[in-house]
């Protein structure tokens, strides 16, 4: 299994190096997304996140008093709090990612340098993983 992981990291690193330095740049510049689009995307990601749904089901049950007259209300309040935090977190990530994508679309050399360094990091991790002794 370790060697499969190392091969996968090697593949990712090589693919990233190829895409960064060898493959011709055929991507068109995409316009910056509108705030409404970003918020809609954030809400969709937050509401359909399977990890959050499993978290609701498995973790929240421990904090619900089933002797309370309305345990569904407690569950709903906990879910709304977690969903609100998740929405703010996802919105922040999407806005930051959109701004970084816009920044790097104008700084091609810096973007190539960053991609090359990440590819080398993947190749290094693959090498380290393959040479670990049990």
Nearest-angstrom CA–CA distance, 37 and 44: 11
Mean pLDDT of all residues in 126-131: 92
What pLDDT shows up at residue 36? 77
* Unique residue bearing structure tokens 């969903």: 83
Spatial neighbors of 12 by CB under 8 A, at least 6 apart, are 119, 122
Listing DSSP states for 28-97 in one string gives PPPPPPPHHHHHHHHHHHHHT-HHHHHHHHHHGGGG--TTSS-HHHHHHHHHHHHHHHHHHHHHHHHHHH
What pLDDT shows up at residue 25? 60
Check pLDDT > 80 for residue 43. Answer: no
Least confident among 54-63, 77-86, 93-102: 54-63
Average pLDDT, whole number, for the chain?
83
What pLDDT shows up at residue 49? 78
Mean pLDDT of all residues in 106-110: 89
Q: What is the pTM of this model?
A: 0.56
Nearest-angstrom CA–CA distance, 38 and 128: 38
How would you label 42-70 residue by residue, b for 16+ Cβ within 10 Å and e otherwise?
beebbeeeeebeeeeeeeeeeeeeeeeee
């Amino acid at each position: 299994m370790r060697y499969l992981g190392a091969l996968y990291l090697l593949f990712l690193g090589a693919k990233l190096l190829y895409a960064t330095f060898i493959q011709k740049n055929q991507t068109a510049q995409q316009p910056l997304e509108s705030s409404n689009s970003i918020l809609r995307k954030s809400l969709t990601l937050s509401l359909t996140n399977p990890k959050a749904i499993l978290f609701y089901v498995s973790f929240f049950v421990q904090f619900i008093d089933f002797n309370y007259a309305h345990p569904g209300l407690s569950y709903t309040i906990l879910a709304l709090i977690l969903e609100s935090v998740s929405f703010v977190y996802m919105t922040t990530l999407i806005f930051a990612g959109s701004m970084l994508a816009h920044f790097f679309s104008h700084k091609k050399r810096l973007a190539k340098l960053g991609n090359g360094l990440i590819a080398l990091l993947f190749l290094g991790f693959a090498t380290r993983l393959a040479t670990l002794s049990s």
